[in-house]
Structure 1
Amino acid sequence: MISTKQNPATFLRSRVAALLAAVGLGVGILFASMHPAHSSEAAVAIAAPVLDEPANGAHQETAVLAGGCFWGVQGVFQHVNGVTKVVSGYSGGQPQTAQYETVSGGQTGHAESVQITYDPTKITYGKLLQIYFSVAHDPTELNRQGPDSGTQYRSAIFPANDMQKRIAQSYIAQLDKAHVFSSPIVTKTDALKGFYPAEAYHQNYLTLHPDAPYIAINDLPKVENLKRLYPTLYRDKPVLLSVASQE
């Protein structure tokens, strides 16, 4: 699969993204001028998972999810009650290849991912997966999301432990059996080898650049769908990542 980030226009995008972010123009302006975006990740109302994590007294756990460009996925989960931190990054490959330009080649094994830190007394892993499958991305698209294609945009869950793996696999089977999507779910549960934070200019991208065409077309509707489908889980003020907290 060829990533839209690797043709001439988007190669330039990766080179100037940090500069564009710094001056507030938004990398989507350059991208959209040559490749008009379209949103194909419509929200779908789905039931909560039958199997979920039990109460264990812990107040902090993490989840690693991949569902296309990490800008939108991070932006969605930053608006979820009970979530305390969301980091855009890479998972699935080796640490030495966890750089944006390298990952964008589609050959590293990495997927653009987010690491979600959450309080399981306020929101469960299963609820996070409900938002992931219904709002954050389209789990029936293979190696692509919206205008982006390539294995780095695949739908994947990286369980942190056996419980998360059982919940994820059980939920996929539950949703497929109920035929809530028009096509089978292609989401894979892959072993969590590590999570590597993305470059600083990728963090909080949706919040910092809401007027960028890529964000406005592909990602802001996801936040609105979160608010519409899960009003009790929605928080209006996003929990933003301090770049220093990545270190």
Structure 2
Amino acid sequence: MTTRRHPHRLLPVALALGLLGACTLPPAAAAATKLPAPLLDAPPTSTHGEQVAVFAGGCFWGVQAVFEHVRGVRRTWAGYSGGSAASAHYDRVSEGDTGHAESVKVLFDPAQVSYGQLLQVFFSVATDPTELDRQGPDSGTQYRSVIFYATPEQQRIAGAYLAQLGRARVYAAPIVTQLVPLRAFYPAEGWHQDYASQHPDDPYIAINDAPKLASLRQWFPALYTR
């Protein structure tokens, strides 16, 4: 069962905050912490190009918003990964039984930002990797935390970083983020794309995702871009 919101049923921000309680932090903000950089990363390159990374870490609105503000990211898409094309539709995915996870496709320039740096941002800012089949206020397998690796190199780097974080015991609970091959990515419906930047006053965005952007700006000033 999911607590997912509908975009046309919006409460005023003040009312939404009141319902949560004046001193209640959004779950993602409460769990966020800047993590160490990966010990294993792609070698530096001065050659500009384009590579693809796909991450799932809860509602794709917030994950997309984070990566849209990372230097070297050329474009992002909200969408679905993990299931079939036939079920890659919001109404079906929201039922939680399609195998899809709400995901974000990131097109980045490896000469400006490395895959390891994207992983560091993902785990520090965009997701809580200890939450199983949920993220913050949203529950269901469609909100699980996943790294969909596109190449063997991405698999090695992501696997090593998961092991590194596990050894460092940076979380009080076990990391449940999945590491699986990218089979396909299906862009979500148009109204989902760039939702956070287009609807900054949506209470869901203000409460759950604005703190993520604040953390990105504070912890990664060299990577943050408007």
Number of residues of Structure 1 aligned to a counterpart in Structure 2: 217
Q: Secondary structure, in 3 states, of the residue corresponding to 2:11? A: helix
State the distance in 2 between where 1:210 and 1:29 align.
13
Contact 1:125/1:164 (<8 A) preserved: yes
State the partner residue of 1:142. 132
| Structure 1 alignment gaps of length 5 or more | 21-26, 237-247
State the partner residue of 2:210. 220
Let me know the Cα RMSD of the aligned residues: 1.9
Q: Secondary structure, in 3 states, of the residue corresponding to 1:121? A: coil
Aligned in 2, Cα 1:28/1:148: closer, same or farther, shift over 3 Å?
Answer: farther
State the partner residue of 2:76. 86
Q: Secondary structure, in 3 states, of the residue corresponding to 2:110? A: coil
Residue 26 of structure 2 corresponds to residue 39 of structure 1:
yes
Deviation at 1:195, TM superposition (A): 0.2
Q: Deviations over 1:75-112 (max 9, x none)?
A: 01100000000100000000110000100000000000
State the distance in 1 between where 2:124 and 2:44 align.
24
1:53 to 42, 51, 54: 42
State the distance in 2 between where 1:50 and 1:234 align.
21
TM-score scaled by structure 2? Answer: 0.91
TM-score scaled by structure 1? Answer: 0.83
Amino acid at match of 1:41: A
Amino acid at match of 2:27: S
Q: Deviations over 1:148-181 (max 9, x none)?
A: 0000000000000111011111100000100111
State the distance in 1 between where 2:179 and 2:122 align.
13
Q: Secondary structure, in 3 states, of the residue corresponding to 1:227? A: helix
State the distance in 2 between where 1:156 and 1:83 align.
19
State the partner residue of 1:204. 194
State the partner residue of 2:94. 104
Q: Secondary structure, in 3 states, of the residue corresponding to 2:75? A: strand
State the partner residue of 2:180. 190
Superposed counterparts of 1:227-238, under 5 Å = 227-236=217-226
Identity percentage of aligned residues: 52
**Runs of 4 or more above 3 Å deviation:** 27-30, 55-58
Contact 1:29/1:214 (<8 A) preserved: no
Deviation at 1:73, TM superposition (A): 0.3
Deviation at 1:58, TM superposition (A): 5.2
State the distance in 1 between where 2:11 and 2:60 align.
18
Contact 1:28/1:215 (<8 A) preserved: no
Residue 56 of structure 2 corresponds to residue 69 of structure 1:
no
